């Protein structure tokens, strides 16, 4: 069986390459705008012109898939490549199984309703296309060719024109590597109050994180710091949720934590049913007292 | 500009029950507009208003999505009309099947310039329907839009990826997926809800049952880790200290 891996980043390609070795006897890697070295038997690269978008590489990618005839396609789930995967799936009469957590003989498993369920699906046709989240497979020890063959980018009909681009400011948060994480939720009514959570985080050597509304609604925290189904999925040693109600969409991102602590003024908040230790109280008074007691 | 919002109506996830065998029970969950599709509706209305055009919504799903409260909720958000295919042949569709149903609904409209979709749906969060729909309609697809404006005959889109913000000139017609920050959903007033009842609601009969590309093998609630659930009241003497001691011990 042949597998095709499509990635924008070497690390993601290494993880998917390692996974593909488990079921495929031939692995082809396709880097979009990047050289993928040491992950596959054959390595292809499509360079997207500066005034074009990655999604519009779909025409080129479909032609490569037609030539290679893979039975499995694994794609890195970036914003841009999700679009390429979707067009490739449409071309193949298939649908992409997204953000898979496990690949087995019966099918691929993803979260359903933000973690309310885990759903395993299988393709009706012969080809399975999956996007694979980072960290699901171990990319260490993958091997493959370092020779990269360039495939020319072909414009689709009516290409999108990339007029300008500005890099996003990279925040220095590295939540995935953090042992201890403090997550702030909607219980913080004012941005100033976040200082109380930061004081606590500093005291216990934690990284600061949040729920989606604090990153995308109010913009108080960087996008990379929100935990949940569409954000970061973490498994720290300790998670402290403050003013987080415990909604499924958030908790699915931390429910693999070693220990879960919760502070909330509402004693009926669902997080108290999902934590190891809870403290019911107003964060304005509780957090300074807690920081002092630590 | 004629703007189409393609939205999904899903069971309200607040009311999903987990049965003893870990299967999911949706019987108490009412149909609602999928959360991030509310942003697509608002972005559609704002783009239509800015360009002197109109916004309409299209959706397809099981017979149960034909719910008067949900339909009014869509129309009360500034939509001029709602085209809805509610048929059990459209229950639990994958993105390939969804595009098969939505594409002819869009093509049959009296002119359209852009289809907006939300970032991801509450059930699958697959972010795939936009790309599949664009493929069926044979038009460009862009995801991650945070701002949209008309620019001559094309659409100027600012969109966010993992590492940059790009300014794009998107030839029309096109399908664009919008991030929540593109437009915050409005809260419809009583007047909007009453007016919604008088707006056109077109039931579109399903011409042909869509072919699924994926079959569900199993769907179960995950096994929850056992948690100690020791909860203290901060006003009780020594509660903060006990909580702090447990936290210290866990570090």
What residue spans define the domains of chain A? 2-151, 175-293
- Tell me the C-alpha distance between B31 and A142, whole Å: 46
Among B123, B220, B234, the residue with its CB nearest the CB of A118 is B220
Among B119, B122, B243, the residue with its CB nearest the CB of A279 is B243
Closest C-alpha among A37, A38, A36, A34 to residue A48: A34
Q: How far apart are the first and last CA of chain B?
A: 57
Contacts of A236 in chain B (CB under 8 A): none
**Looking at residue A232, what is its pLDDT?**
84
Contacts of B120 in chain A (CB under 8 A): 230
Other Cβ atoms less than 10 A from the Cβ of A258: the count is 14
Domains, chain B, ordered by start: 2-215 (3.40.50.620)
Nearest CA in chain A to B230: A277
Q: What is the mean pLDDT of chain B?
A: 96
Backbone angles phi, psi at A83, to 5 degrees: -70, -40
> Residue B165, SS3?
strand
Q: Which two tokens stand for residue B19?
A: 């049965």
Contact: A79, B160; criterion CB under 8 Å = yes
- Tell me the C-alpha distance between A275 and A65, whole Å: 47
For residue range B44-80, what is the model confidence (pLDDT) as tens digits?
999 999 999 999 999 999 999 999 999 999 999 999 9
Using an 8 Å Cβ cutoff, are B104 and B216 in contact? no
Contacts of B231 in chain A (CB under 8 A): 267, 272, 275, 277-280
- Tell me the C-alpha distance between A283 and B47, whole Å: 41
Asked if the A175-293 domain carries CATH number 3.40.47.10, the reply is no
Other Cβ atoms less than 10 A from the Cβ of A147: the count is 9
Using an 8 Å Cβ cutoff, are B112 and B1 in contact? no
**Looking at residue B67, what is its pLDDT?**
95
Mutate to test the interface with B, among A56, A80, A83, A205 (most CBs of B within 10 A): A83
Closest C-alpha among A41, A10, A59, A30 to residue A150: A30
Cα dihedral B49, B50, B56, B60, rounded to 10, equals: -130
Which pTM was predicted? Answer: 0.88
User: What distances in angstroms separate CA A185 from CA A120, A189, A244, one per listed residue?
Assistant: 31, 9, 4
For residue range B141-172, what is the model confidence (pLDDT) as tens digits?
999 999 999 999 999 999 999 999 999 999 99
For residue range B99-148, what is the model confidence (pLDDT) as tens digits?
999 999 999 999 999 999 999 999 999 999 999 999 999 999 999 999 99
Q: Count H helices, E strands: chain B?
A: 6, 15
Q: Which residues are CB-contacts of B187 (< 8 A; sequence separation ≥ 6)?
A: none
Nearest CA in chain A to B229: A276
Q: Do domains A2-151 and A175-293 have the same CATH topology?
A: yes
**Looking at residue B5, what is its pLDDT?**
98
**Looking at residue A19, what is its pLDDT?**
93
Using an 8 Å Cβ cutoff, are B222 and B24 in contact? no
**Looking at residue A24, what is its pLDDT?**
95
Strands, E, within A35-116: which ranges? 42-46, 72-75, 96-100, 102-103, 108-112
Asked if the A2-151 domain carries CATH number 3.40.50.620, the reply is yes
For residue range B201-215, what is the model confidence (pLDDT) as tens digits?
999 999 999 999 999
User: Is A248 marked within a binding site?
Assistant: yes
For residue A119, the distance in angstroms to the closest alpha carbon of chain B comes to: 4
> Residue B75, SS3?
helix
For residue B200, the distance in angstroms to the closest alpha carbon of chain A comes to: 31
b/e per residue A69-87 (b: at least 16 CB within 10 A): ebebbbbbbbbbbbbbbbb
pLDDT in tens, chain A (294 residues): 999 999 999 999 999 999 999 999 999 999 999 999 999 999 999 999 999 999 999 999 999 999 999 999 999 999 999 999 999 999 999 999 999 999 988 999 999 998 889 999 999 999 999 999 878 898 888 899 999 999 999 999 999 999 999 998 877 678 888 999 999 999 999 999 999 999 999 999 999 999 989 998 788 998 889 998 777 888 899 999 999 999 888 888 898 899 999 999 999 999 999 999 999 999 999 999 999 999
Q: Give ipTM to 2 decimals.
A: 0.92
Contacts of A242 in chain B (CB under 8 A): none
């Amino acid at each position: 069986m042949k597998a095709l891996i499509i990635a924008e980043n070497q690390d993601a390609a290494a993880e998917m390459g390692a996974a593909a070795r488990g079921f495929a006897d031939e692995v082809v890697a396709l880097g979009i705008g990047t050289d993928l070295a040491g992950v596959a038997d054959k390595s292809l690269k499509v360079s997207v012109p500066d005034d074009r978008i990655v999604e519009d590489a779909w025409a080129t990618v479909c032609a490569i898939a037609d030539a290679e005839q893979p039975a499995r396609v694994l794609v890195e789930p970036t914003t841009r490549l999700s679009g390429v995967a979707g067009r490739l799936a449409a071309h193949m009469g298939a649908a992409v199984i997204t953000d898979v957590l496990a690949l087995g003989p019966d099918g691929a498993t993803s979260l359903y309703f933000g973690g309310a369920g885990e759903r395993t699906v299988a393709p009706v046709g012969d080809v399975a296309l999956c996007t694979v989240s980072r960290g699901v497979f171990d990319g260490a020890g993958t091997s493959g060719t370092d020779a990269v063959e360039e495939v020319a980018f072909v414009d689709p009909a009516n290409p999108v024109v990339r007029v300008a681009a500005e890099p996003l400011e990279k925040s220095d948060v590295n939540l995935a590597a953090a042992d201890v994480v403090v997550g702030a939720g909607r219980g913080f009514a004012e941005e100033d109050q976040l200082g109380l959570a930061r004081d606590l985080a500093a005291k216990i050597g934690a990284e600061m994180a949040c729920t989606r509304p604090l990153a995308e609604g109010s913009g108080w925290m960087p996008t990379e710091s929100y935990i949940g189904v569409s954000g970061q999925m973490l498994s720290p040693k300790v998670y402290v949720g403050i003013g987080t109600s415990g909604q499924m969409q958030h908790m699915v991102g931390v429910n693999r934590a070693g220990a879960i602590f919760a502070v909330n003024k509402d004693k009926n908040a669902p997080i108290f049913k999902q934590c190891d230790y809870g403290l019911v109280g107003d964060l304005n008074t509780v957090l300074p007292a807690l920081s002092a007691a630590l | 500009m004629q703007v189409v919002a393609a939205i999904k109506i899903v069971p309200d996830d607040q009311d999903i029950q987990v049965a003893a065998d870990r299967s999911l029970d949706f019987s108490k969950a009412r149909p609602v507009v999928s959360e991030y599709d509310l942003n697509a509706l608002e972005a559609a209305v704002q783009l239509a208003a800015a360009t002197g055009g109109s916004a309409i919504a299209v959706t397809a799903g099981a017979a149960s999505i034909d719910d008067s409260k949900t339909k009014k909720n869509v129309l009360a958000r500034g939509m001029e009309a709602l085209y809805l295919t509610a048929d059990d042949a459209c229950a639990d569709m994958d993105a390939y099947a969804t595009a098969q149903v939505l594409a002819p609904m869009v093509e049959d409209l009296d002119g359209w310039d852009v289809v907006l979709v939300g970032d991801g749906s509450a059930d699958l969060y697959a972010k795939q329907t936009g790309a599949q729909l664009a493929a069926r309609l044979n038009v460009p697809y862009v995801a991650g839009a945070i701002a949209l404006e008309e620019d001559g005959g094309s659409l100027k889109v600012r969109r966010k990826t993992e590492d940059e913000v790009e300014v794009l000139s998107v030839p029309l017609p096109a399908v664009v997926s919008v991030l929540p920050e593109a437009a915050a959903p409005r809260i419809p007033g009583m007047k909007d809800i009453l007016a919604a009842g008088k707006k056109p609601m077109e039931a579109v009969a399903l011409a042909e049952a869509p072919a699924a590309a994926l079959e569900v093998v199993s769907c179960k609630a995950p096994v929850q880790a056992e948690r100690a659930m020791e909860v203290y009241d901060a006003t009780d003497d020594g509660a903060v200290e006990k909580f702090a001691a447990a936290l210290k011990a866990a570090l």
